Structure 1
Amino acid sequence: MKDSIRIPIIERFLDVLHAQQASPRTLEAYRYDLELFCKFLGSYEDKPMDAARDEIRAFIAWESKRHHPNTVRRRLATIKSFYRYLMTEGLISQNPARSVIAPRHRQSLPRFLTEREVEQIFNNHFQCFRDRIILELLYCEGLRISELARLNMEDIDFERKTIRVNGKGNKQRIAFLGDRLATLLKAYVDKAASGPLVRSSRTGKRLSVRYLRMIVQHYAKTNPHVFRHSFATHMLDRGANLRAVQELLGHASLSTTQIYTHLTTRRIKESYRKAHPRAT
């Protein structure tokens, strides 16, 4: 929101989320959603405390006309979390958001690259070795772009061929290095023993998530998360165990990983329809 106004009760709520190790991006999303809700109510001060269930429903109905159901669901989740906080603090006696229902979830299959498309990207001429390392880590390890940005030299264990990854909510997991990527990384980190893994060649400072996105877009013409989707899809295509892929991705729930099985199932069906003489 361009003219963001700091609302004390919202700031207190965000402070609690920050103490629970919510990411800066999550905090900004919560702030935006709640400020938008307050604007809809017509007040930036006491009105959120006095909002009625029908007002919350009206806001969700209004948002549903303007945005994708997934966006509206996120905004309602923010509001529900906010009112649970108000209840916990004893600031309200009833939760007006409790029975408000979100619009039906429209689940879309994640976009991924084919193995051939991945090879074409890596056959590009890279302006510097660091840029190749960035794309290799995204695809070979299935990292989130934020996880890549946080990596340090000391997170890499060449002896065990592992990488320590700090995921969502500061949860750590271990990623495994293949021989080829290990060789590339050894050449890349040879002269730098510690500090950020992907850094500015000019200042030596850690590259921001935004800058990393720009690098990926420049070479691959897509967003970084597509490499993560491709990692999972190609692993399952080649017979990897679903729970193993869950662990490698750092998903808390197996159901989150299962969406990739829909991709592989769809491709199997397509192959069947194309190949079998009586499939059509």
Structure 2
Amino acid sequence: MEILEAAEKYLRQLADVRRLSPATVRAYRADLASLSAACGDIALDDVDLENLRDWLWQSVQRGDSRATIARRTAAVRGFFAWATEAGLLAADPSLRLVAPKRGRTLPKVATADALADVLTRMENAAAGGDPIALRDHAVLELLYGAAVRVSELCGLDVDDVDRDRHTARVLGKGAKERVVPFGLPALRAMDAYLVRGRPALVARRPDDAPTSAVFLGARGGRLGSRAVYDLVARELGPELGEHVGPHALRHSAATHLLDGGADLRAVQEMLGHASLGTTQIYTHVSSERLAASYRLAHPRA
């Protein structure tokens, strides 16, 4: 059996049985396709440990991040373990494949003042009534105000937003549903977009078919994550650098919640993390909060 043929069966199991997120399945599909290309025209049962090590070494040579290499290692180890259990292989060649230790490099964090300036600028731009400007303002307000993932934001339907309770129902990793709150600035931006911006974008749909998506693209289809990445990079790039993405807003929201005294477990629930340890890694105590705690608590401060 060819690598890619077996890989598709494995990916279907990840999606249908283990219920991994579509983003994770896409990443694993790309990883296994990369492995197949690196191994060349050989059958699945001809792949050995040296093939796998050579493939990872190519990632190192390209300068891929440690997190990317660790994910690729996890992808192939999971794949070959499944293939062995399914009887496609007599032995698992990935058992001795060692993943590099993942670093705890945190995403960049925007200051509360910097984000306030960006969101005020976008609010002023949206005041003119342009539907794209109204949408972009609402997108950033919700990303920051509710600390949602970009996939969760793009997957929102109109019925998922409760404007009276200031909450949104999102579908997170592993198809786990949760309800997240958002504040008055996000509510005002959402109201303006849903009343004045979204109907104009719906009218641009070429087939006039109804859509349940909250956030729409310029042609009336559901907004894609790539467009959100471009928006965040354009608006926050001057503050955080050209490679900033929507996760920076999620991380900034979590950090600012902790700075304001929010309980770590409450932040965990809002972010949708299964483990508190994930939240502890993902969020960090800012230097300002640490300094304030030091001044209040240390006898020699």
* TM-score in terms of structure 2 length: 0.79
1:272–1:238 CA distance, 2 compared to 1 (3 A): closer
1:205–1:69 CA distance, 2 compared to 1 (3 A): closer
1:205–1:80 CA distance, 2 compared to 1 (3 A): same
Q: Following TM superposition, by how much is the alpha carbon of 1:146 offset from its aligned partner in structure 2, in angstroms?
A: 1.0
- Alignment-derived partner of residue 263 in structure 2: 241
- Residue 113, structure 1, aligned to residue 110, structure 2: yes
Q: Within 5 Å, which residues of 2 pair with 1:108-187? A: 108-124=105-121, 125-127=124-126, 128-187=133-192
Distance, in Å, in 2 between the alignment partners of 1:103 and 1:161 is 42
- Alignment-derived partner of residue 241 in structure 2: none
Distance, in Å, in 2 between the alignment partners of 1:172 and 1:72 is 29
Percent identity, aligned pairs only, is 34
Partner amino acid for 1:162?
A: T
- Residue 27, structure 1, aligned to residue 35, structure 2: no
SS at 1:218's partner residue? helix
Partner amino acid for 2:16?
A: A
Could you list the per-position Cα deviations for residues 148-191 of structure 1 after superposition, in whole angstroms to 9, with x for gaps in the alignment?
Answer: 11111111123333211111122100111323433443343347
Distance, in Å, in 1 between the alignment partners of 2:282 and 2:94 is 33
1:270–1:80 CA distance, 2 compared to 1 (3 A): same
- Residue 52, structure 1, aligned to residue 48, structure 2: yes
Distance, in Å, in 1 between the alignment partners of 2:252 and 2:13 is 36
Could you list the per-position Cα deviations for residues 179-209 of structure 1 after superposition, in whole angstroms to 9, with x for gaps in the alignment?
Answer: 3433443343347697211113x54321111
1:207–1:107 CA distance, 2 compared to 1 (3 A): same
Distance, in Å, in 2 between the alignment partners of 1:6 and 1:91 is 11
Provide structure 1 residue ranges, at least 5 long, that are not aligned to the other structure.
Answer: none
One of 235, 241, 264 as aligned partner of 1:219: 235
- Residue 82, structure 1, aligned to residue 72, structure 2: no
Distance, in Å, in 2 between the alignment partners of 1:272 and 1:145 is 33
Provide structure 2 residue ranges, at least 5 long, that are not aligned to the other structure.
Answer: 127-132, 200-209, 238-243
Q: Any conservation in 2 of the 1:143–1:249 contact (CA below 8 Å)?
A: yes
SS at 2:179's partner residue? strand
- Which range moves more in the overlay, 177-186 or 124-133? 177-186
Could you list the per-position Cα deviations for residues 45-95 of structure 1 after superposition, in whole angstroms to 9, with x for gaps in the alignment?
Answer: 41x322223433343344334332222111111110110110221111221
Distance, in Å, in 2 between the alignment partners of 1:190 and 1:39 is 49
Q: Any conservation in 2 of the 1:150–1:196 contact (CA below 8 Å)?
A: yes
1:158–1:32 CA distance, 2 compared to 1 (3 A): closer
- Alignment-derived partner of residue 7 in structure 1: 4
Partner amino acid for 2:245?
A: N
1:184–1:64 CA distance, 2 compared to 1 (3 A): closer
* TM-score in terms of structure 1 length: 0.84
- Alignment-derived partner of residue 202 in structure 2: none
Distance, in Å, in 2 between the alignment partners of 1:188 and 1:62 is 46
Partner amino acid for 1:199?
A: L
Q: Any conservation in 2 of the 1:213–1:224 contact (CA below 8 Å)?
A: yes
1:97–1:177 CA distance, 2 compared to 1 (3 A): same
Q: Any conservation in 2 of the 1:153–1:194 contact (CA below 8 Å)?
A: no
Q: Following TM superposition, by how much is the alpha carbon of 1:147 offset from its aligned partner in structure 2, in angstroms?
A: 0.7
Q: Any conservation in 2 of the 1:154–1:194 contact (CA below 8 Å)?
A: no
- Alignment-derived partner of residue 273 in structure 2: 251
The CA RMSD measured in Å over matched residues stands at 2.9
Partner amino acid for 2:265?
A: R
One of 70, 73, 84 as aligned partner of 1:73: 70
SS at 1:147's partner residue? helix
Q: Following TM superposition, by how much is the alpha carbon of 1:272 offset from its aligned partner in structure 2, in angstroms?
A: 7.9
